[in-house]
Amino acid sequence: MSAVEPQPVKAAFEIKKGSWQVMTLSETEVEKYLDPQELFDGLEDGFRGLELGEVQSPHRPQLSIPGKGYSLAMAAWRPGMQMTVKIVNIFDGNLDVDLPNHLALINLFDPNTGAPSCVMDGTYITGVRTAAASVLSARMLSRSGSQIATVIGAGVQGREHLRLLPLIRDFERINVYSLRFEDAQKLAAQSEIACAITDVEAAVRESDVVCLATHSPTPVIQADWVKNGTHVSSVGYSPPNGELPGDLARKHRLFVETLDAFQPAPVGCGELAGLDTSTGTTLGAVALGRKAGRLNDVEITVYKAMGVAMEDMVAANLAYQRAKREGGGGVMAW
Q: How far is CA 45 from CA 38, 52, 194, 274, 321, in A?
A: 11, 11, 30, 30, 17
Mean pLDDT of the chain: 95
Question: CA-to-CA distance for 107 and 229, rounded, in angstroms?
Answer: 41
pLDDT at 9: 85
Per cent of the chain over pLDDT 70 is 99
Its pTM surpasses 0.85? yes
| 265 band by pLDDT with thresholds 50, 70 and 90 | confident
Q: pLDDT tens digits, residue range 242-257?
A: 999 999 999 999 999 9
Q: What is the pLDDT of residues 168-200, one digit of tens each?
A: 999 999 999 999 999 999 999 999 999 999 999
All structural domains of the chain: 22-125+310-333 (3.30.1780.10), 134-308 (3.40.50.720)
For residue 240, whether the previous peptide bond is cis, meaning omega lies within 30 degrees of 0, is yes
State phi, psi for 244 to the nearest 5 degrees: -90, 125
